[in-house]
């Protein structure tokens, strides 16, 4: 039965293409290929407390928020990450998300430690529940949100734009 329908469809397609002067169009539906996990490995360059670069790819460390360089604790957060990654081969498991011009990834040290968890545990970054689902919240020091108040305010949408701060 299927073959007969296919032959009729093919014959009709050929007839229409002959009458119109255009080549026949055959539409084939294929199953989409499964998305394979993208992984980057290499030594990294640290931009700030939650951004690294591996092989020219800017990577936002998933699930956390570290202070900006010009915020209190910003430079300390960056240098904590530098010391953590120095001389190490970092593995970044890329997510399909984008954060500004950066890809988002879960990042790990060679011994398997989660870099985001280590930064939160060290008090240099905060769990960002909107993106982590609260995965790192239990690692935050009791005073972390008070000390990193600007990152906490940014998460809650309470940080005014830079133009209001500088102007």
- Write out pLDDT tens, residues 103-124: 999 999 999 999 999 999 999 9
- Write out pLDDT tens, residues 119-142: 999 999 999 999 899 999 999 989
Distance CA 63, CA 128 (A): 5
Mean pLDDT over 142-158 rounds to 82
| pLDDT for 16 | 66
**54: enclosing H helix or E strand:** strand 51-54
Record the pTM. Answer: 0.71
Distance CA 8, CA 39 (A): 48
Burial environment of residue 65 by CB neighbours within 10 A (0 to 12, 13 to 18, 19 or more):
buried
Mean pLDDT over 94-98 rounds to 80
Between 76 and 155, residue with greater pLDDT: 76
Task: Decide: helix, strand or coil at residue 130.
Answer: helix
- Write out pLDDT tens, residues 51-89: 999 999 999 999 999 999 998 899 999 999 999 999 999
β-pair type (57-61, 102-108): parallel
| pLDDT for 24 | 58
- What percent of the chain has pLDDT above 70? 72
Distance CA 76, CA 60 (A): 18
Task: Decide: helix, strand or coil at residue 11.
Answer: helix
**φ/ψ of residue 111, rounded to 5:** -85, 5
Averaged confidence pLDDT in the chain: 83
């Amino acid at each position: 039965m299927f073959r007969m329908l296919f032959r009729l469809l093919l014959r009709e397609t050929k007839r229409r293409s002959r009458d119109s002067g255009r080549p026949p169009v055959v539409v084939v539906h294929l199953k989409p290929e499964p998305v394979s996990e993208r992984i980057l490995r290499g030594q990294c360059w640290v931009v700030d407390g939650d951004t690294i670069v591996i092989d020219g790819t800017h990577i936002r460390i998933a699930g956390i928020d570290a202070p900006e360089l010009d915020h209190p604790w910003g430079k300390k957060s960056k240098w904590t990450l530098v010391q953590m990654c120095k001389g190490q081969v970092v593995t970044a498991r890329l997510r399909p998300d984008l954060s500004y011009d950066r890809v988002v990834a879960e990042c790990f040290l060679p011994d398997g430690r989660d870099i985001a968890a280590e930064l939160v545990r060290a008090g240099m970054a905060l769990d960002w529940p909107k993106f982590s689902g609260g995965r790192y919240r239990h690692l935050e020091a009791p005073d972390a949100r008070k000390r990193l108040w600007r990152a906490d305010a940014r998460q809650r949408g309470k940080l005014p734009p830079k133009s209001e701060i500088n102007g």
